[in-house]
Amino acid sequence: MHEMSLCEGIRGIVEDQARRHGFASVKVLRLEIGRFAGVEKAALTFAFDVVMRGSPAEGARLEILDLPGRAMCYDCGQPVEIDDRFAPCPLCGGGRLMPVAGDEMRIKDMEVQ
């Protein structure tokens, strides 16, 4: 379950930011996760609650924001949104797509006190 290690990385970021900016706790942490990131959201939510114990984010509400998959179609030259890495272009039906977004995961923001 790589979601546990993802949450350990998030904890490190939270602790670093708490030291830098002097906040005591996180109320809400918002993550942006791309459609192709390969993150199991239920497992991530479970791991978040476990890994954040004893940190400034203990008890924080985790909000996950889904980001779409995006690609550039080399057949029609248009940027498009796709649901699957191997899907054809929704505009022209072409199959020469280069994914350009959708595999990211990042902390969007935190509500702290």
Is 2 a known ligand-binding residue?
A: yes
Per the annotation, does 21 bind a ligand?
no
Strand-pairing partners, residue 51, are none
What count of other Cβ atoms lies within 10 Å of the Cβ of residue 92?
14
7 belongs to an annotated ligand binding site:
no
Q: Which residue's structure tokens are 């199991």?
A: 40
Residue 92, marked binder: yes
Backbone φ and ψ of 16, nearest 5°: -65, -45
Asked whether residue 89 is marked as a ligand-binding residue, the answer is yes
Binding-site residue ranges for Zn(2+): 73, 76, 89, 92
Binding-site residue ranges for Ni(2+): 2
Binding-site residue ranges: 2, 73, 76, 89, 92
